[in-house]
Amino acid sequence: MIRVLIADDHHVVRRGLLFFLKTQKDIEVVGEAKNGLEAVELVEQLSPDIVLMDLVMPEMDGIQATKKIKRIGRILKY
């Protein structure tokens, strides 16, 4: 099972991705973040295999969040 975290500030986008990913047999969405800061915190808590990250978000953008997450070292794909 591939564990996925969705990070996007748009609720509709998160819902759409969640809807699609739920149809995939080998994927489990373990969490959702509405900004980069929340994404970093959830990665530390949930240890997903993959993060689907929006680039433009409030509080911390996707690029900054990805750099911080890379330092954590728990993600399979960047």
pLDDT for res 18 = 98
Q: Is the pLDDT of residue 78 over 60?
A: no
pTM above 0.85, yes or no: yes
Condensed to tens digits (0 to 9), the pLDDT of residues 26-67 reads: 999 999 999 999 999 999 999 999 999 999 999 999 999 999
- For the chain, what are the domain ranges? 2-72
Look at residue 76 and tell me whether its pLDDT is greater than 70: no
> Residue 16 CB: number of other CB atoms within 10 A?
13
Alpha helices in 1-78 (DSSP H): 11-22, 36-46, 62-72
Q: Give the pair of three-digit tokens for residue 69.
A: 């997450």
Under a CB-based contact definition with an 8 Å cutoff, are residues 65 and 39 in contact? yes
> Is 2-72 CATH 3.40.430.10?
no
